[in-house]
Amino acid sequence: MRFSLLALVIFAAAGRALAQPAASSSDSPKPGDLVTNPTYALWAGFAVGTSVTQKEAVTLADGSIVESLTTARLVSKHPDRLTVETTVAPLDAAKRAGVIDETKTLVIYHSEAPFEEFQTPESAGYSVTKGKEVLEVRGKAMEAEWIEANTSTSDGSVTEKDWYAVEVPGGLVKQTVTKKKGEQITSQSTLELVDMKIKHEAKKE
């Protein structure tokens, strides 16, 4: 997924306040300014040990389906940074197809980052639309912000749609991606939230 698209979605879900510069004399942020890192902001409201699990199913051109579970867990948090451990585990069908075994990665998100990291560059063949939608998540209605990006090149096209909600650790509720070569669909993927384990900060006396 394009990082700039992810940032656009998170800004929409987390609110305009996240896009304000951390230290700037101007009213709106510009390249070189530090702004609140939206990914940090969407994890910072939860305590260490909080986790979210998503299931992804990828349908290939030959009709085969590869499925995996991704679990992101907050493993440390400080005022200026936090660390998220992400585990990706193939499901049975993927294992039989020879997909690599479980992988783990650690990513550190700082509380502030340069504004230009969150900009989607203007380019031909690239368009973005956004809106709001109520999704049913684990049997409950949840209002989400969504952004859909379409990218077209001589090699084909990619349509990606992401749904985000601030009550979900990390924000991502659902994602769909469709890749085409001409009119032929080469792959389609759907990622959906399947579990959350929320931990809250202990109340101070």
pLDDT of residue 117: 78
Q: Give first-to-last CA distance, the chain, whole Å.
A: 43
Does residue 62 belong to any structural domain of this protein?
A: yes
pLDDT of residue 18: 41
pLDDT beneath 70: ranges in the chain: 1-27, 92-100, 119-124, 204-205
- Round the average pLDDT of the chain to a whole number and report it: 82
What stretches of 16-140 show up as alpha helix (H) in DSSP? 38-44, 92-96
Does residue 203 belong to any structural domain of this protein?
A: no
CA 157 to chain centre: 20
- Per-residue three-class SS string for 80-100: CEEEEEEEEEECHHHHHCCCC
Q: Which residues pair with 164 in a beta bridge?
A: 145, 172
| Cβ–Cβ < 8 Å for 200, 46 | yes
pLDDT of residue 110: 95
Does residue 204 belong to any structural domain of this protein?
A: no
Does residue 205 belong to any structural domain of this protein?
A: no
For residue 28, what is the domain's CATH number? 2.40.360
Residue 60 CA to residue 100 CA, distance in Å, equals 17
Q: Which domain range does residue 23 map to? A: 3-197
Does residue 202 belong to any structural domain of this protein?
A: no
Per-residue b or e along 68-78, where b marks 16 or more CB atoms closer than 10 Å to that residue's CB: bbbbbbbeebe
Structural domains of the chain, count: 1
Does residue 140 belong to any structural domain of this protein?
A: yes
pLDDT tens by residue, 87-143: 999 886 545 555 567 899 999 999 998 887 776 555 667 888 999 999 988 888 999
Does residue 157 belong to any structural domain of this protein?
A: yes
